[in-house]
Amino acid sequence: MIRYSWQKSSYTGPNGNCVELSRPRGWVRDSKDPDGPWIQIDAAALIRAVKDGRFDR
C-alpha cells in the first residue's frame, strides 16, 4: 500500500480552503474534503500551466 503525504498550497487563505498535492506526485484533493474523491493529474503539465499563468485571476 502506498502512503501519501499531502502538501497544501502556499496560497491557502485564512479559511483553510485550498487544494493539496500528494507526495509521491500525481494526485490532487480538496482540503475541505480529504476523504472525498482524489483527482489524478500529470504533475509536470499542472506545474507548467501554473507557471504559464493559466490559473491567474
| Domain spans, the chain | 5-51
Contacts of 55 (CB under 8 A, 6+ apart): 49
Dist. CA 34–CA 20, nearest whole Å: 9
Cell of 2: 502506498
**Positive/negative CA dihedral, 28, 31, 18, 25:** negative
Summarize pLDDT for 8-51 with one digit per residue, the tens: 877 777 776 788 888 887 888 888 888 889 999 887 887 898 89
What pLDDT is stored for residue 52 in this prediction?
93
By three-state DSSP, how is residue 47 classified? Answer: helix
The SS3 of residue 39 is strand
DSSP three-state, residue 56 = coil
